[in-house]
Amino acid sequence: MIIENAEVVLKSHRLCNHCLGRLFARLGRGTNDERGMAIRFVLNMERSAKGLPPIEEPETCELCGNIFDKIPELVEDMKKEAEGIEFETFLVGSRFPGEVRKREEAIWREFGVETAEPINREFNRELGKAFGLATGKDTAKNPDLVFIVEPYSRKVELQINPLYIYGRYRKLLRGIPQTPLPDFEDSVASIICRAFSRVSGGKCVFKGAGREDVDVRMLGNGRPFIVEIKRPKRRRLDLDSIAKEINASGKVEVLNLRFVSPKDAGEVLTRNHRKEYLALVRVDEGVTPEEAERIARELGGLEVHQRTPWRVRKARADRVRVKRVHEAEARWLDENHFELRLVTDGGLYIKELISGDKGRTKPSVSDLLGKSAWCERLDVLNILDD
């Protein structure tokens, strides 16, 4: 039936071997070109036995216009487009004119073809194979590069997929914002991104898993972050060397740099971490060692209802968040100061937990103490993974 059906089609349409074989793409193995060549060969043997002339492959295919013959030229176009860009994996997509797809589907309907595949699918596959052979690169589901080719106009659109790097940063000095702000020379993001942009040749976007205030240090195991490098020209980055360059700033240190997938990057940024803090609490009315110890006992396990702090109300939705203090330890320093080491849910504002923020945080250290207290100095000691 395959040979009979092919003969009926070829009597009405001048098709190349690619387009003939593609009508029967779901049958057997091999390329469509090989399949079409075999079908035409057997068909012409049968026609010869009947004394009929052969149906040769036409000089110009009425369906595709011999576009598959242009693949070597398109490979060169793709190589030129990717010149100077470091990559190991790629994918190929194509945009075919609507009239070509309509002609193909009309043939399917005319002859009731149910075993075909679309022309763009075969073209992508064959162009991808040819480009891989010419460059030694491999195809992949999550490639470094994606080529979108318009075969007839020879337009090649290149998509360079981003790189994602996970790490943790320590901010060693106060007075440095996490992201650039007016009147600040540097930020955590700019210090980190300068090194990545210079080495990769791409645009670096910094994304922290939470943030600390400008006057707060980030110590201990560091805050998780993701660096997204858009349109990198170089992908084989020496992360140890980049870390050394960043750490030499004396302001920010990075730890545990490694490449991650887009999915893993998203999970890092959405995961909720408990945090360990060290706060220096000032009480102008005076505080005793016994009061400091009592505050720590009462804070441990405490549920806190915290309305969005007054100082960040313009940047955060105004709502009440319920958070918990999991651990609290106190160390009395002098009649006006004591230290609090706290382990809390992520998203609990520590400065407001101490001051009360004019009643927006309940309960607070000020409430429990019965005296006004505020945070004179704050450090994030650790970001605790679940």
Average pLDDT, the chain: 96
Q: Which residues of the chain have pLDDT under 70?
A: 386
**pLDDT given for residue 377 in this prediction:** 98
Say whether both 24 and 120 belong to one domain: yes
- For the chain, the helix, strand and coil percentages under 3-state DSSP, each to the nearest 5: 35, 30, 35
What is the per-residue pLDDT for 386? 58
Burial class of 315 by CB neighbour count within 10 A (0 to 12, 13 to 18, 19+)? exposed
Task: Mark whether 54 and 93 lie in a shared domain.
Answer: yes
Last residue of a domain, one of 98, 130, 160: 160
CA distance 32 to 67: 14
CATH classification of the domain holding 205: 3.30.70.2510
- The reply to whether 166 sits in an annotated binding site is no
Same structural domain, 190 and 233: yes
pLDDT recorded at residue 383: 95
DSSP 129-168: HHHHHHH--EE-SS-SEEEEEETTTTEEEEEEPPEEEEEE
Dist. CA 206–CA 373, nearest whole Å: 35
One domain for residues 173 and 128: no
Domain with 60, as residue range(s), is 1-160
Residue 314 CA neighbour count, 13 Å, CB half: 1
Domain closes at, from 213, 245, 270: 270
CATH number at residue 279: 3.30.70.3190
pLDDT per residue over 316-325, tens digit each?
889 999 999 9
Is 240 considered catalytic here? no
pLDDT by residue (tens digit) across 326-362? 999 999 999 999 999 999 999 999 999 999 999 999 9
Check whether residue 156 and residue 167 sit in a common domain. Answer: no
* The last residue of a domain, from among 160, 179, 207: 160
Q: 164: annotated binding-site residue?
A: no
Angle (nearest 5°) at CA 60 between 55 and 66: 115
**pTM attached to this predicted model:** 0.87
Q: Are residues 123 and 207 in the same domain?
A: no
pLDDT at residue 128 in the model: 98
How many folded domains does the chain comprise? Answer: 3
Query: Active site residue: 69, 138, 144, 213, which one?
Result: 213
Tokens standing for 16?
Answer: 């190349």
Residue 355: the pLDDT is 98
